[in-house]
Amino acid sequence: MGLICMVFFSLGACKNPEDRLNNDLEEASSLSSLVDVPVITFDELQERIFALDNDTLYVVNFWATWCKPCVKELPAFEMADSVFKDKKVKVVLVSLDFPEHLEQGVRPFIMDQGLKSEVVILDDPDANTWIPLVSNEWSGAIPATVIVKKGKKHFYERSFTVEGLDSEVRKFL
């Protein structure tokens, strides 16, 4: 038995489960650091999306890792990012998680969920100033989505299904 375990130990099969878990967590943490998630202010977000006057259709979703309805609808945004990538559609997932949760929360979440869409963290604590700039209709609840093209915006304070988001995006194409 000792020889078998020695052979398997060299392959990692007889390692202490806690050691394997720690190694897996360290590997996931180092891989998640490769995920680019810029921390931006609302002014930067506005310059990058809301102030643009080009032919790109922007689908901007405000969400957080701790928001169950937000997480549930993420596949709809991933679908839109994939299906419409050749039609000048850009999906931007604006995380409202705290920037200090980037390393231990947001990046690992992006890896676990396999998100391919652009993700940014909004670091602007003065929500009373920027929420009405997104939409006067927005109460501040999430999930919330804005579809923007050439300065025209349509706001949605609700969750989306794959079919529902697909239908809304197609209205703008």
Angle value at C-alpha 167, between 115 and 81, nearest 5 degrees: 25
Q: Please list the pLDDT of the chain residue by residue as tens digits (173 residues).
A: 444 444 334 444 445 545 544 444 444 444 444 678 999 999 999 998 887 778 899 999 999 999 999 999 999 999 999 999 899 999 999 999 999 999 999 999 999 999 999 999 999 989 999 999 999 999 999 999 999 998 789 999 999 999 999 999 999 99
Q: Is residue 16 in some structural domain?
A: no
What pLDDT shows up at residue 81? 95
Q: State phi, psi for 60 to the nearest 5 degrees.
A: -110, 115
Q: Is residue 72 in some structural domain?
A: yes
Q: How many domains does the chain have?
A: 1
Q: Is residue 148 in some structural domain?
A: yes
Q: Any bridge partners for residue 92, and if so which?
A: 60, 118
Q: Is residue 71 in some structural domain?
A: yes
Distance, in Å, from the CA atom of 153 to the CA atom of 49, rounded to the nearest integer, reads 11
Tokens of 88: 């000048």
What pLDDT shows up at residue 53? 79
Q: b/e per residue, 153-164, with b = 16+ CB within 10 A?
A: eebbbebbeeee
Q: Is residue 145 in some structural domain?
A: yes
What pLDDT shows up at residue 151? 77
Q: What is the CATH number of the domain that holds 154?
A: 3.40.30.10
What pLDDT shows up at residue 34? 61
Q: Which range marks the domain in which residue 136 is found?
A: 39-172
What pLDDT shows up at residue 12? 47
Distance, in Å, from the CA atom of 173 to the CA atom of 168, rounded to the nearest integer, reads 9
Tokens of 166: 């697909």
Q: Are 123 and 38 spatial neighbours (Cβ–Cβ below 8 Å)?
A: no
Based on its alpha-carbon atoms, the radius of gyration of the chain, rounded to whole angstroms, reads: 20
Q: Is residue 19 in some structural domain?
A: no
